[in-house]
Structures are given as structure tokens and as C-alpha cells.
Amino acid sequence: MLTLIKIFFFFVLLVFLGGMVARYLMRRFFRRMQDNMNQHNTRQEQQKKEGKVTIEYDKKKKGKKRYKDDQGEYIDYEEVDE
């Protein structure tokens, strides 16, 4: 009977301490993540000046065709006077 009580007490103590350690590690992880995000945002805001217009585009798509080869060919439009 005494062994059963010791096992139960050890289990409760393990769960309690494990929860405290996990809570501490999660807080530390999320604080670091939040600090990283804040630092990244402030760096981006410092680079852009207010009132300045910037155009951002994907460099991977630069130079690619906007249409596929099987969509047909381009025909020049000519205006006809009546």
C-alpha cells in the first residue's frame, strides 16, 4: 500500500513539475518569436518613408509570358472608318 502511495505521489509531482517546465519553455519560445517579429516589422517600417510609393513584384515571374502557347495568336486591331 505504501508503494502505491509513493508511485501516485511521484506521478503527481512529475506531472506538476513537467507542466511548470513546459509552461516556462513555451513562454520563452513565444517571447523570442514575438521579439523577432517586432524587430522585423520595425526594420521594414524604417526602410519605407511615409508618402513614398513602392511597387513590389515577384522576381521569379519577371520575363515570363502572360499567356500560354495554346491560347491562340495575337492579331493587330485595325479601326475601320465607315
The confidence score (pLDDT) of residue 40 equals 81
Domain that holds residue 33: 14-38
Whether residue 31 is contained in a domain is answered as yes
Q: How many CA atoms lie within 13 A of 8 on its CB side?
A: 5
- Give me the number of domains the chain comprises: 1
Cell numbers found for residue 81? 472608318
**Apex 73 CA angle, 70 and 77, nearest 5:** 150
* pLDDT tens digits, 3-61: 999 999 999 999 999 999 999 999 999 999 999 888 887 776 666 666 777 777 776 66
Please tell me the pTM assigned to this model. Answer: 0.44
CA 61 distance to own-chain centroid: 21
The confidence score (pLDDT) of residue 38 equals 85
The confidence score (pLDDT) of residue 16 equals 94
Whether residue 18 is contained in a domain is answered as yes
Whether residue 67 is contained in a domain is answered as no
Neighbours of 29 (CB within 10 A): 10
Distance CA 68, CA 26 (A): 49
Whether residue 48 is contained in a domain is answered as no
